[in-house]
Amino acid sequence: MSDRERVAVAEALTQAHRVAVVMHVLPDGDTTGAALGLAALLAAQGKSVAVVSPEPVLPAFRFLPGSADVRTPADLPLRGPAADVVVTVDCGDPGRCLGPVLLSSLAPVVINIDHHRSNPRFGDLNWVEPERAAVGDMLVDLSDAAGWPLNPAAALCLYVSVASDTEGFRFGSHDSHLLELGARLVRQGIDPDAVSRHLWETRPWTAAQLEGWVLSHLERTLSGRVAWARLPWEVQARLGAQAEHAEGLVGSVRALEGVQLALLFREEASGRVKVSLRSRPPFDAGALAAQLGGGGHRHSAAAELGGGLDQAGRQVRDAVAHAYGERMAWTDLST
């Protein structure tokens, strides 16, 4: 099935003259690298390409070619289609990438390229492979199917896509195929050391302060298999932290010895709570997130809950207890 879907997407993009590529909200490395990588491939074929993001490109990814040209929804035309085809990348839900109404208004054909198990196949053409580690991996296959040669700009962006979603080729489907893919992209002239510095070794001071607070307020179950931290809004406000400063914090929780399920509860000013989940077997972050109305992958997922930290905590506590028998007990956040 995936071969037929990939060929159909390649044919549609080959025939298109104007293409809009859309990222998802809170654009991470996979959606950013995939969108900019696809744009570089298409531009090399003489296509007119616009990359659109619901939110600004995060500082960590502004070294990527084309990042300065990413447009916001406010830049889009008010009337008439902006393109022949609109492509969403790494978007498991159309509501996270402009919404179905705006997507359909951009172009008569919506192409959905994704690797989330929860993807509802919302496009006119849907190429969804949940077993893939990153959309960047899929786009290398697309370039081969379409006969588009990789160029250095595209290779760098697609490398960042894959490296980001596998956390430096450490998690996900990091089999020989993925390592060979990384080597193929590096041969286009990429400096992996420089990429690593951009992604993981250039941290804002505020992000470090936030991590310090989180690591000093960790909690865990008696077995030690589940660990979590709750990040109140007032702490973020006091430190002047933005949403992007919390990116990757849940990975620091998962890195602790014995932890198989890591959770970060980040409260927003509205009182809603963003829950980030990271897991190792036998825990399934994606399945837990789906129960909570979110989605993601087996080892990495997220959900958004209402009612503040206490209510969100109860919902997650009950889901974890029901699925895995782990009992989570909350402590007083003021201590």
CA–CA distance, 26 with 97 (Å, rounded to integer): 10
DSSP state of 317: H
Question: Is the torsion defined by CA of 5, 20, 34, 207 positive or negative?
Answer: negative
The values of phi and psi at residue 266, to 5°, are -110, 110
Q: Tell me how crowded residue 199 is: count the other CB atoms within 10 A of its CB.
A: 18
CATH class of 205-324: alpha beta
> What does the alpha-carbon distance between residue 36 and residue 61 come to, in Å, rounded to a whole number?
10
All residue ranges of the chain with pLDDT < 70 are: 1, 77-80, 172-175, 330-335
Handedness of CA 38, 134, 273, 232 (dihedral sign): negative
pLDDT digits (tens, 9 = 90+) for 71-115: 988 887 656 677 999 999 999 999 989 999 889 999 999 999 999
**What distance lies between CA 156 and its chain's CA centroid?**
17
Residue 152 preceded by cis peptide, ω within 30: no
Q: Does domain 2-200 have CATH number 3.40.50.300?
A: no
pLDDT of residue 335: 40
3-class state of residue 164 by DSSP: helix
Q: What is the DSSP string of 233-276?
A: HHHHHHHT--GGGGTTHHHHHHTSTT-SEEEEEEE-TTS-EEEE
Determine the Cα–Cα distance for residues 246 and 254; give it in Å rounded to an integer. 14
Tell me the domain boundaries of the chain.
Answer: 2-200, 205-324
Residue-level pLDDT at 73: 87
Strand order in the sheet with 125-128: 48-52, 18-22, 85-89, 109-114, 125-128
d(CA 173, CA 298): 11
DSSP code for 139 = H
* pLDDT for residue 334: 41
Q: Which residues contact 60 (CB under 8 A, 6 or more apart)?
A: 29, 198, 199, 202, 244, 247
Q: What is the DSSP string of 58-85?
A: PGGGTTSTTGGGPBPGGGS-SSS-S-SE
> How many residues are there in the chain?
335
SS3 117: coil
Instruction: Point out which residues pair with 266 in neighbouring strands.
Output: 231, 274
Rg of the chain taking only CA atoms, in angstroms? 20
Burial class from Cβ neighbours inside 10 Å (0-12, 13-18, 19+) for residue 282 reads exposed
d(CA 82, CA 195): 33
Apex 43 CA angle, 40 and 45, nearest 5: 115
Other Cβ atoms within 10 Å of 112 Cβ, number: 25
Instruction: Report pLDDT digits (tens) over 268-294.
Output: 999 999 999 999 999 999 999 999 998
Residues 261 and 42: beta-carbon distance below 8 Å = no
